[in-house]
Structure 1
Amino acid sequence: MSTLSTILDLSVYPIDDPDFRAECRHTLERTGALVLPGFMKSEAVEQVKQEGLEKQHLAYYTAKQHNVYLAESDPAFGEEHARNRKVTSSKGCITDDIIAEESPLRTLYNAQRFREFMSDVLDEEQLYEYADPLSSINLHYASEGQELGWHFDNSSFATTLLIQKPAGGGVFEYVENMRDADRGEMNYEGVERVLNGEVEVKQLSMEPGALVLFRGRNAIHRVSPTEGDITRMLVVLAYNNQANVALSETARLTFYGRLTA
């Protein structure tokens, strides 16, 4: 069974240290993104990668067209308007119930020290696992040509770990402060320029083992299509700031093809 010290290099990333936590929180507040290279030790990354390769045949694959707001089309606007214009997301996914009990991912996800570190950095009082059996830990696969289209997140933060980098493509791109969701300012003009390729985008550079915290509610972002025959593998560690929250049945059917384990 893995322990936190066998999964993380705690000498490089002292997650219990208040000063280190404050530094991470400041970076996330200032830039909307925090990348911690080599957060997961290479041995643990390799263990997760091997499990991912062995279980890839169990993945549920989806190819979905959606607008960047992840909402139903608004009939007040044309189909090619930035509000309704469609992009494509395609990927495979294995869900929490398929991840082995002895996986480093489960040890990390459930570790109270890690959860307290995350809570502090994200400025959340407490973090909770999902109430449904599928959504807490997901391993995503993007083979050649698969991508994550431009979008805004509905949640206030996302936490990911890169497990396997593709030969080419699979680049995380974003433009920060593209909208103000809380004020209802959707910035259709700016979004249209992004969709037309008229805006210089930022990229997050990451290698296997990198932990990434990203605030995507107001930052439009995507992952470019994978190139080559090496599948991009990325783990999503999903938490809530309230207890007993489940992903909706509609979302579970859409992304996982089922409701329960």
Structure 2
Amino acid sequence: MMSAERLIDLARYPINIAGPARDTVLARVRDDLARDGCAVLKGFLTSDGIKALTKEADSVSDHGHKSFSRTNAYFTKDDPTLASDDPRRQFFERSNAFIPADKFVKDGPLRSVHDFEGFDRFIQDCLQEEKFHRYADPLADVIVNMADEGNGFP
């Protein structure tokens, strides 16, 4: 098993150590969240971390849940009373796939990161939430979204 300390770039993202370096990261993440509604932590994983998590996800990709549909940008049904050029009548192919959490082993790299001491508190502090319940949403456990290889999913 590879330790989370080898998977996460803790020098760049000291998520488990209170202090000025962590405060700087939190300030940047909070600014991004306030401005864009999302934050990207470039380099959060080490190169070893990326390789290990990718290998693990690839090893269970055959367990992914996949769906295909035709939809519009509004996820509504076609309404023939609208003009043919109305955006609600413009449909496109959509696919989605994810690997559920129960396919990842408890001592694997993905769980090592997700269960790392300080990870939950870091997320809570980024979101500035007084209370944080990791599993308040039953689908909030670790999942991996799969990329479409162009002709459906692998």
Q: Same-fold call, TM > 0.5?
A: yes
TM-score by length of 1: 0.47
Aligned to 1:198: none
2:35 maps to 30
Partners of 2:109 and 2:40 lie apart in 1 by: 20
Determine which of 126, 134, 142 is the counterpart of 1:137. 142
Change (3 A) 1:66 1:83: same
Q: Secondary structure at the match of 2:124?
A: helix
Secondary structure of residue in 1 paired with 2:143: strand
Supply the distance in 1 between the matched residues of 2:10 and 2:93 (Cα, whole angstroms).
39
| C-alpha contact (below 8 Å) 2:9/2:45 kept by paired residues | yes
Decide whether the 8 Å contact of 1:9 with 1:41 is kept in 2. Answer: yes
Greater fraction of residues in helix: 2
- The reply on whether 1:120 has 2:125 as its aligned counterpart is yes
1:75: Cα distance to partner? 4.6
Q: Does the alignment pair 1:73 with 2:77?
A: yes
Following the alignment from structure 2 to structure 1, what is the Cα–Cα distance between the partners of residues 81 and 116?
A: 47
Percent identity of paired positions between Structure 1 and Structure 2: 25
Q: How many pairs were matched up?
A: 147
1:12 aligns with 2:18: no
SS at structure 2 position matched to 1:111:
coil
Which letter does structure 2 place at the counterpart of 1:88?
A: E
Whole-angstrom CA distance in 1 between matches of 2:140 and 2:108: 16
Matches of 2:52 and 2:4 in 1, distance apart? 14
Kindly report which structure 2 residues correspond to 1:129-168, keeping only aligned pairs within 5 A, or say none. Answer: 129=135, 132=138, 136-145=141-150
Q: Deviations over 1:155-178 (max 9, x none)?
A: xxxxxxxxxxxxxxxxxxxxxxxx
Report how far residue 131 of structure 1 moved: 5.2
1:77-107 Cα offsets, whole Å, 9 max, x none, are 6375334532332243221111111222212
- What are structure 2's unaligned runs of at least 5 residues? none
Structure 1 gaps of 5+ residues are: 148-230, 232-261
- TM (normalized to structure 2)? 0.74
Q: State the 1:9 CA deviation.
A: 1.2
SS at match of 1:62: strand
Q: 1:74 deviation in Å?
A: 7.4
Distance 1:103 1:34 in 2: 25
What pairs up with 1:46-65 in 2 under 5 angstroms? 46-65=51-70
Q: In the superposition, relative to structure 1, how do residues 7 and 77 fare at CA in structure 2: closer, same or farther (>3 Å)?
A: farther
Give the structure with the higher percent strand.
1
Instruction: Please say which structure displays the higher CA radius of gyration.
Output: 2
C-alpha distance after superposition, 1:112-133 (max 9, x if no partner): 511221122223332422554x
Bigger drift between 97-106 and 13-22 goes to: 13-22
